[in-house]
Structure 1
Amino acid sequence: MSKADNMLSILWLLQTGKRLTAKQLAEALEMNIRTVYRYIDALCASGVPIVADSGHNGGYSLLQPFTDAPLLFDLNEQKSLIHAAVFAQEAGYPFGEDLDRAIAKLKRYTNEEQRGAIERHSRGFDVILPPANPMLASMLQELEISVANEHTLIVDYQKNFQTEYQTRQIDPYGLVHWKATWYVVAFCHLRGDIRSFRVDRIGNMTRTDSTFQRPAMFSARQYFLSSLLSDADRQEKPISIKIIGRKQALNDLCGHWFLGRTLVERTHEEAHFQLDEQLVHTHVPHILLPFGKAIRVQEPSFLKDRLAAIAADLLHYYQST
């Protein structure tokens, strides 16, 4: 390890609050005791308040007020944190002001050379996501706090395209950001089961005095993904779908979050999927329509008929209005 790493290691050991001798430090860090003395002297010279006590119970310790040793980040670590902050801000991270202050502190404790390097790496790094709704920030903050502190909430929720709100009592287990939309995964007292709720469909929200205990090892991410992909994994009556088309269109189709899990075979000009027959009738046509003439369904024939029927219905709808 470098000198800086060894000095920081000594600080971490002294952070425990125990009085440690030079011999104990040397054994813990596997270094010569003379080297420990040199590093202690260097730390004291740099202003670290290390107290040296002699005698039978002597050793080194830190003054009580000195409780936090500074974190040291190299350039790549600093760059990665700043890039991650860009992603978070674009995704509508609800604690944006706190994140800005954290990044400002990170830049404040860098030298001129490091700041220049960080600026160079930041200028060429941009993230473009659908605009986040700033009105959700306060609600997301409240949800995050309630998740962490396990507080039961009462919310007014607007389901799907309904105009009326329903009052629900929920135990929020976690927040999930999926395809530019925030969801809260929660136990719904009305349904007696775990559900996911779109945050932008929540009207009023009230924190109650009641608390709950989240199930051990529960993962909001895993629950959310499993609920999304359960249909794709269902194969009660599997049907083969064969599609030809342009290479890039097939690439996008095979990379689709839903269809990608059902891919059986891919060649240069064809993609072969296998799904449950009901899903081929309901889900698949609406996934394929945006690809337009870039793809063509080879089989099954009823899927081609379904696509034609949906397109004809849209044509009639817009011609009649």
Structure 2
Amino acid sequence: MRASRLVTLLLLLQNRGRMTAEQLAEELEVSVRTVYRDVQALGAAGIPLYGDAGHAGGYRLVDGYRTRLTGLTADEAQAAFLAALPGAAAELGLGEALATARLKLRAALPAELREHAGRIQERFLLDAPGWYGDPDDTPHLAAVAEAVWARRAVLLRYRRWRAPEEIERRVEPYGLVLKAGRWYLVADGPTGIRTYRIDQIVGLHGLDDGFAVPHGFDLGAYWAGYLADFRARLHTGEALVRLTPEGARRLGVARAGDGWTEARVPIESVDHAHGEFLRLGTDVVVLAPAELRDRIAATVRTLAARYAEDPSADGTSGRVG
């Protein structure tokens, strides 16, 4: 552990120039006294660094010195591919490896490219999950990731929406996908290659059985096909609607002018469309199918009747608590 910390300290000085003991201690998550000892150890090993006293002082490497310790370990190389998603790397247990990989990559760059990379990191941030979704509870994610790395089969207990609601299967995990902040496992099992939500895994036992991914299998291509099939199954019907300019904008429908626009839009089901169109309020009028139009009309009548009632008629005062 100390050897890794010494390399990180050296790379920090190489990338950032002069740093105080307090700054190094904060970056390395150790005490200032530990930093002093580490600096002495690097000096004893022949690393040309020195310290400046005073308010603007700190440790720095001799001008022109560059370490050649920039090779990536296996974990760091894996983490480098998740550099745009630090949260995902941390969930997979690669947070520390990602930080070290970034330092090594920056250290290997020429000075002008290091400066450019620094500006990118300062000015752009990717935050993939949506606004309103709570983080998934994924206690088995690390174990699944380990099985994916090692190409080892697992026995999982999985909760699904149809009966039987809980199943147990031996599967061979091919890969992990992070979609809109949610983790999915792509694995081969008794019913072929399937997709499993990691937060629905309620139990997992690693097996010693190794496996080989079939020749030609491509995780990206599989996922693209899975999404296309999902969308095809999702929108099995359509509705004929009239939209205000605002309604057309919210649904992403091309407007036919400054007034109302008539359009056919795909829907998943009457139940789902009922809720989605109600969110548009007075910006939409459903013309067909008749079942959907009647459902929305009935809901509107119920809402109108409830809002016409005296809010104090049930004896409540409207106070909270």
Q: Aligned equivalents of 2:242 and 2:205: distance in 1? A: 50
1:96 corresponds to: 95
- Letter of the 1:281 partner, please give it: V
Q: TM-score, normalised by structure 1?
A: 0.53
Alignment of 1:49-60 (within 5 A): none
Tell me the SS of whatever aligns to 2:216.
coil
TM-score normalised according to structure 2 size: 0.53
Residue identity opposite 1:172 in structure 2 = P
Separation in 2 of the partners of 1:267 and 1:104? 54
1:306 aligned residue (274, 286, 295): 295
Q: In the alignment, what sits opposite 2:123?
A: 124
Do 2:153 and 2:206's aligned partners in 1 also have CA atoms closer than 8 Å?
yes
Deviation at 1:294? 4.1
Amino acid at match of 1:178: K
Specify whether residues 162 and 310 from structure 1 end up closer, same or farther in structure 2 by C-alpha distance, changes over 3 A only: farther
- Distance in 2, Cα, partners of 1:149 & 1:118: 33
**Cα distance, 1:115–1:216 mapped onto 2, change above 3 Å:** closer
Distance 1:311 1:201 in 2: 36
Distance 2:271 2:280 in 1: 17
* CA drift at 1:115: 4.1
Q: How far is 1:168 from its partner?
A: 2.4
Partner amino acid, structure 1, of 2:178: H
Q: Is the 8 A contact 2:70 2:105 kept in 1?
A: no
Structure 2 gaps of 5+ residues are 1-68, 73-78, 315-321
Q: 3-state SS of the aligned residue for 1:127?
A: coil
**Separation in structure 2 between the aligned mates of residue 228 and residue 91 of structure 1, nearest angstrom:** 27
Counterpart selection for 1:220 from 222, 226, 240: 222
Aligned to 1:78: none
For 1:239-258, what per-residue CA distance to the aligned partner results, in whole angstroms no more than 9, with x for missing partners? 552240344x534423xxxx
Q: For the residues of structure 2 that align with 1:91 and 1:297, how far apart are their CA atoms?
A: 45
- 1:155 corresponds to which residue? 156
Per the alignment, do residues 204 and 274 of structure 1 end up closer, same or farther by CA in structure 2, a change over 3 Å counting?
same
1:284–1:144 Cα change, 3 Å: same
Q: 1:267 to 1:183 in 2, by over 3 A?
A: farther
SS in structure 1 opposite 2:140? helix
SS at match of 2:293: helix
Shift of 1:170: 1.8
Does residue 284 (structure 1) correspond to residue 273 (structure 2)? The answer is: yes
Question: Which residue is 1:250 aligned to?
Answer: 248
Q: Deviations over 1:65-114 (max 9, x none)?
A: xxx9989xxxxxxxxx9997244536976233322221122223345554
Amino acid across the alignment from 1:297: V
> CA offsets per residue over residues 219-248 of structure 1, 9 Å max, x none?
4313431341232465xxx6552240344x
1:207 aligned residue: 206
Q: CA deviation at 1:184?
A: 1.0
Q: Given residue 211 of structure 1, which amino acid in structure 2 is its aligned partner?
A: G
Q: Secondary structure at the match of 1:85?
A: coil
The answer on whether the counterparts of 1:240 and 1:273 sit within 8 Å (CA) in structure 2 is yes
Residue identity in the other structure for 2:184:
Y
Are the equivalent residues in 2 in contact too, given 1:147–1:174 (CA < 8 A)?
yes
Q: Output one character per residue of 1:110-136: Cα deviation in whole Å (capped at 9) or x when no partner.
A: 455544443333333233434885963
Instruction: Give ranges in structure 1 of 5+ residues lacking alignment.
Output: 1-67, 72-80, 255-262
